[in-house]
Every structure is written in structure tokens, then in C-alpha cells.
Amino acid sequence: MSDLTTLRGTELLRELSLAFGPSGCEDPVAELIEKIVSPAADRIVRDRSGSVIAYLKGTGASEKRVMLSAHMDEVGFMVASIEDDGTLKMAPLSARDPKILAGQYVTIGDGRGQVNGCVGMVPIHLSEDKGLPPYRDLYIDIGASSREEAEKLVKKGDFGTFRSDFVRFGQNGRMLKGKAIDDRLGCAVLIDTLRDIRKSGERLPFDTYFAFTCREELGISGAACAANLIRPSHAIVFEATAVADVDGTPDTQRVAEQGRGGAVSLADRGTVYDMEFARLILDTAEKNSIPCQVKRFVSGGNDSSKIQRSGEGVRVAAISAPARYIHTASNVIREEDFLSIERLAAAVLRALK
């Protein structure tokens, strides 16, 4: 592994993307993030839910308490049973369409000891059902030939997720593909923003909390706990959002456009956002010539819904990277969108002064 303190931008995103961290098993990602941010933060705590919260002390000139949030977990599954032939049956831990699972390479374990396997199904030419396979017809092949052999490698209740390379492709390598970019991208934004502020020697007038939350994909419980601990006045959630920009999608159903920067949410299925805060972000982007756009379709949700409702209420905003194929092994983003979101994060913190 490279020196973690020197990684930033896309190389940092790659390291985070490859880490094992399905919902409920975020410890490997949390430990990685703690190592990276420890030299730059004034203090780091792990709350009881497992989220990592890094703190930068402000000058005290402002009463604001600002929370930046990104979730560490990725979509995953749990081993539900071990069959007599050594294959495994699984139960989904978050939104995942079974049609994208067959043939996928996966990793199973407890975050420390892990084993690899492949998702299989009855071949279509031997199946009476020619439709999409339900979860009950999928299994995981870990190379075991019996229940006894499989039980030496895994146990019921083990977590699993995709095993996928992180690669560049497209013109000039501008596209990035990997698993868990939803939401290790947000984690990378928080890390680089925290370290850049520390390196600049600047002290913001308010205390700033960088919350790397757990279990967003399973009820957003980590963000709720972190927000109740921090009690912010303002919060910005950094996410990846399904972009729906492929050919054939009606313009009225498109969420955003890749290559036009981060998408600022006005409303989604869990939150109606603070309009004044959203306008501040859009104005800051324009003032600093940072590509930015409005998320123009009401869809999805993120940590904002629970943060907004915490304490006495929080003014929330969300900035999302337009991503293709989220909740699969191949999340795809444009590098320039990711880098523009990093620029915007620091600019918005300074604008909040």
C-alpha cells in the first residue's frame, strides 16, 4: 500500500473504492480513513454507531457548527445459508437488483478474514423460468464441494460485497470505474478538504466536523447518530447520485449531466433542502468558475434526511457526483466532476464565513 498521507484526488478515491465495507461491516474503511486523516485533524472520535468524526477547531468568531458528511458503507449482502453442496445463499443488505448479480465476482468475510467467490445461477438453457432470477435462485460459489468444506471458510451471517477493479477508460482516461464510488467519492472529498485546510494554515471562524458515516444504505442510522452528537447548525452531504443520462432516457427524467460538475439537490425523496443554502453553493460555484449544476429530478435520498431532523433542526445541502450504474460493481463517473466537487467543498466552507 502506498503512503496514505500522500494520496489525494483520484489515487485516494481508488484506495477507498477498493476497501471492503458493506453496510454493517465498515470497520476496514473506518480504520483506513482514521490513518489518513489523523495527522490533519485536531481530534478524531468513533461514535457508538461506528462512524468516524474528524474535527477541526475554528477561531470561535462564528457560532456556526458545520458538518460535512459522507457515508463509508457500500451495498452488500449477508450469507443466509450454506448448502449441502458448499454453495451459499445470500440475503441483500441494501437496494440491489438481482439481474446485475449473476456472474459477478464477490468478497465475503468479516472485514478481516475474507474469501472470494462468484455469483451463479442455473444456466438459462436449463431453466424453465426465462425471466429475471429472484434472489432465491442465485447462489455464491466459493470453490467448496461440501457444507463442511465451506464452513471452514465462511459462516452464516458473514457480510459480502462486489470485488471489482478501479480503472480509467474513455477519451484521455477521463472516466473512472469502480465499486463503492457511492460513497467513497464523498469520503475522498472530505479527506482532501480537511487536509487542504490544515495545510493552508487557515482557521475557519467556526468548528468543522467531517463525519464519515456508517449504514447509510440501511436506514441512514449512522448519520442520525453523528448529527445528534455534533449538533450542527449547517451540514453538507457529499454523495454519488444515479445520473440517468444514457440515450433513450427522456429529458424530464434525467437527473444531471456528467461533465457539468456536482449536482446540488433542491429536493429528493427524503429531504426538501434549504433553498438559501443551495443558492449559496450555486453562487459560490459561479463566482469561482467551478462547474456545478442543479439536480433536476426528485429521486433517491442520502444522509441529509436524518441530519436535517436532528437536534433543533439543521440547514442541509447536498452535492452529488453524477454516477452511472450505482449499486453495481461498476460505478462510473467523470474525473472532472469529482475534482470540481473537491474544489467546491473548500470554496463553500470559506463562503460560509
Residues tagged active-site: 216
Give the Cα separation of 266 and 272 in Å (integer): 6
**First vs last Cα of the chain: how many Å apart?**
38
Give the Cα separation of 237 and 303 in Å (integer): 7
Give the Cα separation of 212 and 69 in Å (integer): 6
Residue 266: CB atoms within 10 A of its CB come to 18
DSSP 183-251: HHHHHHHHHHHHHHHHHHT---SSEEEEEEES-GGGTSHHHHHHHHHH--SEEEEEEEEE---STTS-G
- H helix or E strand, kind and range, residue 114: strand 114-121
Sign for the pseudo-dihedral over CA of 321, 223, 54, 107: negative
